[in-house]
Amino acid sequence: MINGAHIVIYSRDTEADRAFLRDVLDWPHVDAGHGWLIFKAPPTEVACHPTEGEPSHELMLMCDDLDATTAGLTGKGVEFTRPVEEARWGRVTGFRLPGGGEVALYEPRHPQP
């Protein structure tokens, strides 16, 4: 039985991204050896969306209150890369990790499992 998911973020600066997850998002972690940090992620959902283009994946972190969460992260120096989008399914914005990757931040408005 599948009991979890392992998310990999490919980065141009893994040390900076690890420090971001550790120090800015305050995620619990273990050192798997030689500074290779593995983080405990919050509860996760998986959704499948249709596409006309090539199949892809997207990392979206979830929160209960997008305004409060963006304010808290802005106070920690996080710069958001796109304005808040209001949709019937939720509210979403995005920020860039120090290593160059972009992550969406999402306040769902749909029923949650």
Contact yes or no for 36/19 (Cβ under 8 A): no
Residue 113 covered by a domain: no
Contact yes or no for 92/104 (Cβ under 8 A): yes
For residue 64, the domain's CATH number is: 3.10.180.10
Average pLDDT of the segment spanning 107-112: 88
**Quick one: pLDDT at residue 110?**
85
Average pLDDT of the segment spanning 55-72: 94
Average pLDDT, the chain: 94
Q: Is the pLDDT of residue 112 over 90?
A: no
CB atoms within 10 A of CB 17: 20
Domain carrying residue 77: 14-108
As for how many domains the chain has, the answer is 1
Give the whole-angstrom CA distance, residue 39 versus residue 21: 8
Residue 35 covered by a domain: yes
Q: Write out pLDDT tens, residues 35-44.
A: 899 999 999 9
Q: Is the pLDDT of residue 1 over 90?
A: no
Residue 3 covered by a domain: no
